[in-house]
Structure 1
């Protein structure tokens, strides 16, 4: 039974989101992050379905009424009560693979990015949703600690990741690189693993998730964050990452087509002044479109134009993520795509 990790551009049934709790980390910014998520849901529902886990029945009822008023077709939306600790679905949501022509949802262990934050409810969320019949695809638990934002794939046997995250002792202590690679090859069906040694964003809690730094756009193309400001503290590390990407080769030995994404001006938290991890690499590919985080910055337009050229035939949809980065994540971090065959049609329920 050969496994294959789906690339993000594989046809999708839905995008999954986790709605914030009123008493969670978003409590001071709840209206703002809910407005961001609402914008995302309306945008995604133009193209495909949205699965939302709500923290409680009252929130579920409120959201159903709100989205109905916004014109979201109810056959494109499913709301299920399933409590979570936080909103970062990319990291506590299921990771989908193909096995024997059908999707399987792998439920990896989530520990709040190496024990930094509470994660008991997040770690139980996929099992909870599966137990409530949210998925058509089977859910398989995994003891390995792995977050969806830590990996990216070309869908043809190559995995892109970072040493700072996957080899961090706060994840799978005692598991050496060779043993970890063997587990990833077995689970995800990958044949090659491209390890980035360099690259980070200030304000990032994830220990350098690759989805903040470099992303496959198709099997031959990688988009990456590029810093052109020599005075910026990120400059040296991102230049070193760029050199690594230039040295990577495809399975046939040819270089990748590299797409440099612009560097937004530094964003700082208005409360205490720490830098926030604004990145255009945190885009989301869906059926027929690419949602792109923007930050009210002069570089937004350049990023949108570059990604429009990179994804011909797909709509480019900007999403204001200035509120999302206040909790150190962005658009891709808030979502998890579910490939075709993962869900029953919502209209059946």
Structure 2
């Protein structure tokens, strides 16, 4: 996307390899802390965010007692979430935003990597984690079990080999093709519905390949096992940038089966943390910290002016 990505290639290749082979790397890495006393540089703002005592005091009692929030992530959603090459750290826009949130709320935010999106959502619902900073796709069917504090919007496109040999430019052109998706993600549901449409129209079904993380899906395309990867545009842009010409984007500027797609943090349904996070995100938007972090990672096109709860209508 921007020059900063090329500066991070060497650091991130090892991270993505480890994430793609999560089990071989020892499963969930130890927790990595953010929001510490000397972490102001990570926010991208150049200055430490000042604690808001009123927001701090609104945190759930167990959080105030522990002095920390545990945020779960999938570890493989760049440029938002990038698992460290040592298996112990998390970087990316979400990590930077977590640092700012921790400073604003006056608590430490610890990151734990779970094995896929379904594990993240069920873990939050079960109370094993306080929240996921995300961003995770907000959809009506997911709002029944959890609440979303939305802080970005997204688009869904295809990553294909250079010159797009299978000519995959839209959902209609995916019939009969091998399409990689994230298991449990919204794109998986859309591409499976498209497969049914293909058959109904007398065309070959989509050969859907579901993977637990982004790097595994990208590797499937690079190796020829999949013809395309159907996923969020922000991370796919990142992977295309790092592919050194092996991959390109396709299907941009289209709805591709989605209405306006909101993504955000996930919290327990009707929990105390929801409204505190909403106020905290909005304050970071209003004071410019959020915008500086998004710009740092080349995500200006994904910004929201106003954070919201459960913005998805479908």
TM-score (norm 2): 0.29
TM-score (norm 1): 0.27
